[in-house]
Each structure stands twice: as structure tokens, then as C-alpha cells.
Structure 1
């Protein structure tokens, strides 16, 4: 979109697009870049073009441009600080991603330092989501930073590197809604004890599981035994390996789930797990099945019907099954939508190109 796309208006009259309510305008800007990571240039280009539409579009486009920040080097950090911003508007970050020890083939590359990390965190007025990454699984982030005023509204924490609580730090005042963990990284039990006081608000949990990975769900339960009764959204991702028995039990014990996502589980394990769920409030179920998935030669609607007969799924309103083709397959992507069951549940079957797991 560019300024040339704006509809003409009578002389002296404001264009209709310039008169949109602020809430609607903010939503239009948000939807225009939905799903685009902050590192993708297309996202920045779209937002800059939106700022050209009308004067009233400049502020929401600029706010969205600043709302998601990915910093993986000293150079990117300097660019972050050098960007001009209105002095009367605090910086609100819907997502801050800090990536340490990433070393591209660049002689001028300098990794993000602890001092620069502190400066970034302290400069923001509010940080709502924090994602910490490290290619070498090093831990240069000081958890004391979460005591800064900028983290008072932190609601989402995603960890792709280990965090060792410093001596003397007894608890953190953050109140998380969402926590994402990867079993490729071994988090110490002391981290979950540190978060225990903030877990009473946790409603969403994402776990990436590998065969030899750390039992992070067990450490979460040790620190906060009430967690299964309060989770509304649970996402489990693995790479076609059986889940540990304790994790199966954890999923079964989640009694308040409304959304369940199972990616990379073998079909037989899914069929064995669903009848044993303790939740009766599930409204959305997302599954990923193997690229070779077939249902005894029957149409996919038969598989949907098999699932919808489960007692635990009696409240289901949305069922999505995704099958990702292997590279080199001559099969065409497809999307089938059907409404089945006495509840008129929307069932979607998608065949897509294979993408890597997180």
C-alpha cells in the first residue's frame, strides 16, 4: 500500500481513511504484518508504506514498527538506540528477542554484551514479551533485569537458552500468561522455583520435546503443583518420537484446557492420548500428522468422525489436522473444510509443504 492508493477527496475534506477510529486503525496496521517476524524486511517496508497513507497513520505504523524488536549483535543494538522516537511517548515492546553469540561470517560482528542488554531493557517503557536465544546455549542474561520497571507488565517468556538464577534472588514479581520452553536446553530447577510465585497467572504453556531432553514439565510441576488445573492452552511439539510417560500424564491431568496443539506426535499416540484427557472444555484441537498419513484408505472425514466420538472432545468446535509433505513430493497442497458431528464442528484438513520444527 502507498500514498497513491488513497482515494481522492473533495478539496479541504479529509480522506475517509484518515478518519478511521484509532482502535480500528491500530487493528488494520496489526493485521497488515501479522505473522511476519521483525527480522523480515517486508514487515518494515509494509509499515513504512502505511505511514504514507495519511498523517493519522504515521503514529500507529511507527508504533508497530517499534513494537517487535530482534537484536542479535552490538550493531543492531546501536541501531535500536539511534532510531529517532517521540520524547513524549514511552517505548512499548510487544516482543523483544535477544539472540546471543550468533556469529555470521562478518569480521565487523560484535556479539550482544551484558551491558548493552541492560541498556536495552532499561530504555523501554514496557516489555510485554521476552524471547531469549543462544546458539551455543550460553547464559549472558542476568535474571535481576526482570526486576526493572520495564518488565512489570511482562506476560510472555520464551527460553531457548539456559538461565541460572543469581545468588540472592529469591523471587520475581512478573506475572506470566504464557511460557515457552525447549527441552534442548536444560533449565535448572531453581529457575522454576524462582518463577513459582508468578505462575499463578500462567494460562498457556508451550513445550518442545526431544527424546533425550530435559524433563522440564516435571520441574514445573515440582515448583507449581496446581499448574495442570489452570492451563487453558497447551502446545506440545516433538519430532515423531514417543512422549515420556510423565508428560503423557501431565497432559491428561490438565483439567481446564480449551486449546490443545499436538505437533509431531505419531498417530497412534494421539489416538491413545485423547480418550484419557480429563478436560471437558476443549473447544479447539490442532494436530500434525506424518507425511505418510492415511486412514485405512478411507476419506479424511472418517478420521475426523473417529476423533469426534471421543467423550473428551464433546465440546470441540474447531479441529485442524495438518500433514506436511516431504521435500521432492509431487503431491499438491490442499485444504479441505467440513462441518461434522452433532455440534457442527468445523474440521479442516491441510496438506502443506514441510517446514522445520522450532
Structure 2
């Protein structure tokens, strides 16, 4: 039986423990997508977890969806990320940059080129997004041509190379949460009739091609992917074939020898054991809203090799230490989740800082 505080092998790395900082959008990058100095402090503070997975980071101009999210495709981005990866490494941590293409979850006012989002098909998600002008409805995206799909695959690989140049230990492909890769998976967002639409194999093709391209570029042992089977947010409906698609996709991805598979689980409990059997490598499980008393249950049962946490790590720079001694946790303040300064970003106290002198 494994314990949360046991070391674990993930790709080419042995991690100090089985706790992972889940990717969380914080919207504090500069307008050009370059991470600021506060990002280095923020991630460095939390480097005692076995692995940090950064906030979603766009691999191209078309990949941006939200205001002030970071990029990793220009020289300025690389220089900005170097400070952050160095801060994590200086504390003995490991850090993967999450590559996130928002697809149709994008507003022209939030992107450098001010064009509508791109997607598998020209279907609007039916929701709004915060912009500099306030909340606005998301426009209908432009459907990617086959040539553009292939260029997007190349964009992911290029961004992965840049991430490694910036000092990242690896990258996690964001294939979850209703963004571009899941848009290809879901029939509600993908009505294509070419090789990227229709059958299970075709709708899984884009995710597999992205993973293969990145693995070829930086090595499979520092390439990972996050999936969220069954997610229904923002117009995503994977249909009755959804579980079978994920069984196929996980089996195909397993052949690549990736560093890990990261599952955000929000339902269909019966699918998890199948994924566990199909996936031979390290498996990270994230259960949004999991209560403190259940932390460690999936590692102890063998259902997962690692567990990832969001808000608890966000609010507790010393999350690992607090778990070890069963200390109280800081509460996360939602008003500081997106945008702002150091308030509710880098000013959450550690146990030693909270105690009176």
C-alpha cells in the first residue's frame, strides 16, 4: 500500500512525494503573455509538492482564450518562465508547464490578433467570458481546415520545445475542461466529416497526434496529458460513446510511454478502474471538491499513483507539511482566484508565519 509521502517515479523523474499541484488559471501574466515576477514567487512557495503543474499556457496566439494568461511561444515568454522554473527548482521541486489551447473558449478582445476563436466546427459554446469590457458572449468560432489542424499540432510541439528551453521539467497537454482537445472529442462541438470527426478513432485522433508530436520533440518521458471524461461544461456533451472513446484513447496514449496521465474525475465511477487497467504508467487523479479527510484515499487503494489538489495548495504554500502533521488549512479566497496582485496569491501564510512570535 502506497503512502502520499512515498517517492514515486514519473517519467524520467523520481518525485519526493505523491502530491501534485493541479493546474489553475490565475490570470496574472503581462498583456503579452509573459509571466511576471510574482509567478516565480507563487510557484516557488509551493515547490514542496512532488510535482507542480502550472496554469494553462497558450502554445500560440490562436490558443489564448482569457485575459492575461501566460504563453510559451515567444522569446519573452521563455525568459519570463525561466524565473519561475528556477524558483521551483531552487526549492527542490519539479514543474511541468501545462499547454492549453482554448479553442472556441476564446474572445477576440482577449487575444493579441483579435480574431474569433478556432475550433473543430463552427459551433458556439453558448456561454460568456470576462473581457476588458466586462462579460461578453463568446462568438461562433471558425472551423479549422485539415491543414490548420496539422499546424496546431506543430504549434503544440514548438511550445513544448520552448517550455523545456525555459527550464520546465516537462509539459502537460490540456485535454480537459471543454478546451480544444476535448472539443474534438465531443460530438456536440465536433461535427466534422473528415479524418478528425465522426468515429471514435477520428475524434480521438487530434489528441493522439498532439501527444505523439510533443513526445517526438522533447521525449515521451517528459510529456503528459490531462483528460476529464464526462465533463459537460460549456456545451460539451461526449454522448453515449464517451466512455468507449476514453477507453480507446487511453489505450492508444499508453503505447507512447508518456510520463503520466492526469484524470480530472467528476462522474462515471465505473470508468476509473478501466482507465487504471489500460494505463501502465503513472496515474494522477484529481477529484474537484474532495474533502480533507479523503486526501490520500486513491493512492492508498491503488486506484492512483498520485493525487492532485487545487484550492488547498493555492491557499497553503506548505500544503505537504500541513498534511503530515494534520495541521489546519488556510481557506482559499475566491476573490483572488483570477487577476490582481499578491493579495490571495503569494500572501497566504505558512504555519510558521501564522504562529505568534
Answer yes or no: same fold by TM over 0.5: no
Question: TM-score with structure 1 length normalisation?
Answer: 0.37
Question: TM-score with structure 2 length normalisation?
Answer: 0.37
**Larger strand fraction of residues:** 1
